[in-house]
Amino acid sequence: MTSAISVRHLTKDFRVGLRGLKLRAVDDVSLEIPRGQVYGLLGPNGCGKSTTLKIVLGLVSATAGEVSILGCPSATPEARRRTGFLPEAPYFHKFLTGRELVRYCARLSGVPSADVAAAVEDALGLAAMTEAADRPIGTYSKGMLQRIGFAQAVVHDPELVILDEPTAGVDPVGSAAIGRMIHAMRGKGKTIVLCSHLLGQVEQVCDRVAIMDRGRLVLEGRVEDVLSRRDRHVLTVESMTPAAREAAEAALAAHGAVVTSVTHPRRSLEDLFRELVTGSRDA
Amino acid sequence: MQASFLRISWIARVTFLEAVRQRFFAFLLILGAAMALSSVSFRVLDFGHGELKFIADFGFGGMFLFGSVLAVVMTAQLFFSEMDNRTALTLLAKPLGRGEFLLGKFAGAWAVLAVFVGVLSALLGVVLWGREQELLLLAEQSGKVPPTFSASGLAQFALLQWLRLGVVASIVLAISSLARTFLYAVVVGALAVVAGQLQWIAQDAILKPTESPAYEALLWCTSRVLPNLQQFNIGDALVLGATGVPADAVGAVVLAGAAYMAAYVFLGALLFGRREI
**Nearest-Cα residue of chain B relative to residue A89:** B86
The SS3 assignment for B276 reads coil
B1 in contact with A, Cβ within 8 Å: no
Of chain B, the percentage scoring pLDDT greater than 90 comes to: 56
Q: How far is CA A60 from CA A54, B46, B87, B175, in A?
A: 6, 58, 15, 20
A87 in contact with B, Cβ within 8 Å: yes
Yes or no: say if B109 and B167 are a contact pair by the CB < 8 Å rule: no
Tell me how far apart the terminal alpha carbons of chain A are, to the nearest angstrom. 42
**Nearest-Cα residue of chain A relative to residue B5:** A108
How far apart (Å, rounded) are the C-alpha atoms in residues A280 and B4? 43
Could you tell me if residue A272 is inside a domain?
no
pLDDT tens digits along B121-152? 999 999 999 888 888 888 888 877 778 888 88
Q: Which of B198, B167, B136, B155 is nearest to B268 (CA)?
A: B167
B83 in contact with A, Cβ within 8 Å: no
The answer to whether the CB atoms of B7 and A108 lie below 8 A apart is yes
For position A277, what pLDDT does the model report?
A: 64
Report the CATH number that the domain containing residue A111 is assigned in CATH: 3.40.50.300
A104 in contact with B, Cβ within 8 Å: yes
**Kind and range of the H or E run holding B25:** helix B23-38
B97 in contact with A, Cβ within 8 Å: yes
Could you tell me if residue A275 is inside a domain?
no
pLDDT tens digits along A177-189? 888 889 989 999 9
A116 in contact with B, Cβ within 8 Å: no
Q: To probe the interface with B, which of A69, A108, A115, A163 has the most B CB atoms within 10 Å?
A: A108
Task: Quote the number of domains for chain A.
Answer: 1
**Measured in whole angstroms, how far is the alpha carbon of residue B203 from the centre of its chain?**
21
**Nearest-Cα residue of chain B relative to residue A112:** B3
Query: Domain span at residue A109?
Result: 5-229
The SS3 assignment for A220 reads strand
**Kind and range of the H or E run holding A218:** strand A216-222
Q: Parallel, antiparallel, or unpaired for β A83-86 and A160-164? A: parallel
**Nearest-Cα residue of chain A relative to residue B93:** A57
For position B87, what pLDDT does the model report?
A: 92
For position A282, what pLDDT does the model report?
A: 45
- Please report, to the nearest 10 degrees, the dihedral formed by the alpha carbons of residues A88, A93, A94, A98 taken in order: -80
The answer to whether the CB atoms of B10 and A108 lie below 8 A apart is yes
Could you tell me if residue A39 is inside a domain?
yes
How far apart (Å, rounded) are the C-alpha atoms in residues B21 and B24? 9
Judged by phi (left if over 0) then psi (alpha if -120 to 50, else beta), residue B86 lies in: left
Q: Which of B14, B87, B95 sits opposite A109 (nearest CB)?
A: B95
The SS3 assignment for B249 reads helix
For position A281, what pLDDT does the model report?
A: 46
Could you tell me if residue A270 is inside a domain?
no
> Amino acid identity of B247?
A
How far apart (Å, rounded) are the C-alpha atoms in residues B129 and B150? 9
Which residues in chain B (169-198) have CB-CB distances under 8 A to chain A?
Answer: none
User: What own/partner pairs with CB < 8 Å and gap ≥ 24 does B249-258 have?
Assistant: B250/B156, B250/B160, B253/B160, B253/B163, B254/B159, B254/B160, B254/B163, B256/B227, B256/B228, B256/B231, B257/B160, B257/B163, B257/B164, B257/B166, B257/B167, B257/B227, B257/B232, B258/B163
Chain pair A-B, CB pairs under 8 angstroms: 68
ipTM, interface predicted TM-score of the complex: 0.83
Task: Quote the number of domains for chain B.
Answer: 1
How far apart (Å, rounded) are the C-alpha atoms in residues A69 and B70? 42
Q: Parallel, antiparallel, or unpaired for β A5-16 and A64-69? A: antiparallel
B98-121: average pLDDT: 96
Tens place of pLDDT for every residue, chain A, 283 residues? Answer: 788 999 999 999 998 877 778 889 999 999 999 999 999 998 888 889 889 999 999 999 999 999 999 988 888 888 899 999 999 888 899 999 999 999 999 999 999 999 999 999 999 999 989 999 999 999 999 889 999 999 999 999 999 999 998 888 778 888 888 888 899 899 999 999 998 877 877 888 899 999 998 899 988 999 888 877 777 788 888 888 889 988 998 999 999 988 888 888 777 666 666 666 654 444 4
The answer to whether the CB atoms of A87 and B92 lie below 8 A apart is no
How far apart (Å, rounded) are the C-alpha atoms in residues B83 and B105? 12
How far apart (Å, rounded) are the C-alpha atoms in residues A61 and A17? 19
How far apart (Å, rounded) are the C-alpha atoms in residues B139 and B58? 23
**Is pLDDT larger for residue B266 or for residue B202?**
B266
Could you tell me if residue A252 is inside a domain?
no
User: Which DSSP category does B37 fall into?
Assistant: H
Q: Which of B17, B94, B276 sits opposite A60 (nearest CB)?
A: B276
The answer to whether the CB atoms of A80 and B95 lie below 8 A apart is yes
pLDDT over 90 at B162, yes or no: yes
Query: Domain span at residue B243?
Result: 2-273
For position A27, what pLDDT does the model report?
A: 93
Minimal C-alpha gap between B79 and chain A (Å) = 13
B36 in contact with A, Cβ within 8 Å: no
**Is pLDDT larger for residue A18 or for residue B213?**
B213
pLDDT tens digits along B214-262? 888 888 887 888 899 998 988 888 888 777 788 898 999 999 999 999 9
Name, in order, each residue with C-beta under 8 angstroms of A1's C-beta and a sequence gap of 6 or more.
Answer: A35
The answer to whether the CB atoms of B93 and A57 lie below 8 A apart is yes
How far apart (Å, rounded) are the C-alpha atoms in residues A282 and A124? 16
Maximum average pLDDT range among A40-49, B67-76, B193-202 = B67-76
Q: Which of A80, A95, A110 sits opposite B93 (nearest CB)?
A: A80
A138 in contact with B, Cβ within 8 Å: no
The answer to whether the CB atoms of B97 and A77 lie below 8 A apart is yes
Q: Which of B3, B14, B97 sits opposite A104 (nearest CB)?
A: B14
Q: How far is CA A219 from CA A11, A17, B100, in A?
A: 17, 32, 39
> Amino acid identity of B265?
V
